[in-house]
Structure 1
Amino acid sequence: MHIYCLFLLELSSSQKGLHLIELVDDVFSLGERVFQLDMELRSEKQRYSMLAGTVLGYKGAGIGRIDEKGTPDRCEFWCMSKDDVLGSAPVLPAPEAVSSHRSLYADFSRSCHSLTMVILDCLETQLGLPNGAFRSRHRIEWPSSDQSRQIRYLPQPEEDRRTSLVPHTDYGSVTILFNVLGGLQVLPEGSTSEEENWLWVKPIRGCAIVNLGDAMVKFTNGFLKSPMHRVTYAPGEQASLTRYSLAYFTRPEDQCLMKRLEGSEMIPELDDDDEDLDVTAGEWVRTRVRAAQVQKDQRAQFPLWATKGLK
């Protein structure tokens, strides 16, 4: 037995939720200004592009690929490290429009991380895990690859509308996602990836879209599953509008070992031929990022866990 986890979480019934909604609005407004900077200048792009060998900073449209043919993606990112904005890691280069709003990114990171802890506490209880099993692996003050990601999708040509972001599962533990326009789609369990099988995830004002990632699959030995999802052009009249999204990725602490958790009768035992390797979360994410950045025929050099969820 296993459970795929992607759901809408209503935020407007609590003060913390309302505060997060306000922060989301502020980051959305900032994102519009950030993407309208002179990023069309190649030198400016390169200055902030994929900093320190990561996906932090700016990623331009067309850098990623959505299929085996090498078709370029149609989305731009601006990514901010949690450790950077909270002052526990060196500050990475950023344009003034971003640097002058580090406190906003820090508040957003704290608020999303706090929400994630509530979700993990609920899962911990349902799984019958020892108290703190998840929190002890996701302490906000410890180094991790947590990040916020602002995303822009420009309107696509009417004669050539297609997938903007490759089908994938997320690397980390919990993703908190906000968007106004449609475009996010999920592939139901057991379905093949033909177009007719993808289902729309309708955004609702005042709600976050919550998605579990592959780290939770590892911690629960497959009991919890991360759903395959993608982003395509927005449906109907929305397709003519620029689509902005905002995501927060909570990932395990860098030094956390990516192993099955002990103490729950619901989490299946490892099979006799399975092996829990001593892979840290930091290595887990770095390897997954590198695997995602190469063509499919080059991924054979990576361990199987590194290419899970990659198309």
Structure 2
Amino acid sequence: MAFSSPAPFPNFPPNLPTIQLPTLSLSKLVAEDEDETKRLFNTCISTGVFLLELQSSQEGLSLIKQVDDMFQLGERIFKLGMEEKLRYSMLNGTVLGYKGAGIGRIDAKGTPDRCEFWCMGKDDVLGIVPALPAPEVVSSHRSLYADLARSCHSLSMTVLDCLETQLGLSRGTFRACHRIEQPSSDQSRQICYLPQPEGDRRTSLVPHTDYGSVTILFNILGGLQVLPEGKAAEEENWLWVRPSPNCAIINLGDAMVKFTNGLLKSPMHRVMYAPGEQANLTRYSLAYFTRPEDQCLMKSLKGSAMISKLNSEDEEVGVTAGEWVRTRVRAAQVQVDQHARFPKWATKGLK
């Protein structure tokens, strides 16, 4: 199955409640088209999630080819024997390497998740830190992971450049927090969701907000759901995201909420089983998480009249992005109340 030209499969059901996401153009954002940049900003202060059309630009076409290759590689990785995959399970106490289905929890009752991950850190694939062990099928494709990291980081910087312009921040403010050559927790995540039993279909991945800056998601089959801003996490309020050919799904993470004191939004989302007849297929997806570099201080930014000032009692602690991510990873095991286990500095501005 390829992202650009997927094999025939059942259509996304037409009668599901779906969220109406705007489709933005990567080529227009790269050109800093004023109208497209304003559309991006208005989306990011309301929902924080949108579709990004890729095929109208050379950068997008190159990324589509890389994603096709990653989808094919992902199928090979997840078909490895379980004994082989478990040799690389959550290496060095992180989520890097392999995460098996059932390791995570989706609620306070301890209900296990239903997804497998293979995660590769940006610092690893770009040689910033020593490489972690990996099976041969991964090690022989390290250049593909490196190319993907560079492309997705560049795309994320395009999004952040446009938001920076709209916020009236000094040119390069966001890039200074996301230098690709500096250590960070950026990573790619290949994901596999096996078909669920017909009489027991439920959430595959816990409801959550992302804790980085920009998430780039490539889906072929449905399954992703978003909770609209201000809605309670009741079943009837979740809306499906309809994948669109050659479009990435982009959402902001909590770091952008932190940097703008709540102005920009980080959407609550989860992954269900694929809908309709798609539920009978194995669902693969690919995500890339762009996060602030480890030494970046997680504070609201100064220099924009649009970013509200903190009250004196809300004075921020100088927490680094590295500590921010480690805290969020530890707290993400069970998320009924997603903020219940975070320290106060980690939840400022989050809803």
Please confirm whether the aligned pair reaches a TM-score higher than 0.5, indicating the same fold: yes
Any idea what the Cα deviations from partners look like across 1:242-281, whole Å, max 9, x if unmatched? 0001000000000000001010000111123212111000
Q: Match of 1:174?
A: 214
Q: Match of 1:286?
A: 326
Q: Match of 2:301?
A: 261
How far apart are 1:46 and its partner, in Å?
Answer: 3.5
Q: TM-score, normalised by structure 2?
A: 0.84
The structure 1 segments of at least 4 consecutive aligned residues displaced by more than 3 Å after TM superposition are: 294-297, 299-302, 304-310
RMSD: 2.0
Q: Match of 1:66?
A: 106
Which structure 2 segments of 5+ residues have no match?
1-41
How far apart are 1:53 and its partner, in Å?
Answer: 1.3
Residue in structure 2 matching 1:28, options 56, 71, 86: 71
Q: Using a 3 Å threshold, how does the CA distance of structure 1 residues 308 and 148 change in structure 2: closer, same or farther?
A: farther
How far apart are 1:289 and its partner, in Å?
Answer: 0.5
Q: Match of 1:240?
A: 280
Q: Using a 3 Å threshold, how does the CA distance of structure 1 residues 306 and 218 change in structure 2: closer, same or farther?
A: closer
SS in 2 for 1:151: strand
Q: Distance in 2 between matches of 1:10 and 1:92?
A: 34
Q: Distance in 1 between matches of 2:201 and 2:266?
A: 27
Q: Distance in 2 between matches of 1:216 and 1:37?
A: 37
Q: Distance in 2 between matches of 1:50 and 1:94?
A: 11
Q: Distance in 1 between matches of 2:333 and 2:111?
A: 13
Residue in structure 1 matching 2:62, options 1, 19, 35: 19
Any idea what the Cα deviations from partners look like across 1:25-58, whole Å, max 9, x if unmatched? 00000000000011x22xx344211111110000
Q: Distance in 2 between matches of 1:167 and 1:294?
A: 9
C-alpha contact (below 8 Å) 1:292/1:307 kept by paired residues? no
Q: Distance in 2 between matches of 1:22 and 1:73?
A: 30
Q: Using a 3 Å threshold, how does the CA distance of structure 1 residues 57 and 194 change in structure 2: closer, same or farther?
A: same
Q: Distance in 2 between matches of 1:30 and 1:142?
A: 27
SS in 2 for 1:246: strand
C-alpha contact (below 8 Å) 2:107/2:335 kept by paired residues? no
Q: Using a 3 Å threshold, how does the CA distance of structure 1 residues 201 and 30 change in structure 2: closer, same or farther?
A: same
Any idea what the Cα deviations from partners look like across 1:160-205, whole Å, max 9, x if unmatched? 0100000000010000000100000000011111111111111111
Aligned residues with identical type, % of pairs:
78
How far apart are 1:295 and its partner, in Å?
Answer: 7.8
2:173 corresponds to 1:133: yes
Aligned partner letter, 1:17: G
Any idea what the Cα deviations from partners look like across 1:200-247, whole Å, max 9, x if unmatched? 111111111000000000000000110100000111110100000100
Q: Distance in 2 between matches of 1:267 and 1:259?
A: 12
Aligned partner letter, 1:31: G
C-alpha contact (below 8 Å) 2:258/2:348 kept by paired residues? no
Aligned partner letter, 2:48: C
Residue in structure 1 matching 2:51, options 8, 17, 41: 8
Range with greater deviation from structure 2 (155-164 or 44-53): 44-53
Q: Using a 3 Å threshold, how does the CA distance of structure 1 residues 271 and 3 change in structure 2: closer, same or farther?
A: farther
Q: TM-score, normalised by structure 1?
A: 0.94
Q: Using a 3 Å threshold, how does the CA distance of structure 1 residues 202 and 214 change in structure 2: closer, same or farther?
A: same
Q: Distance in 1 between matches of 2:125 and 2:131?
A: 7
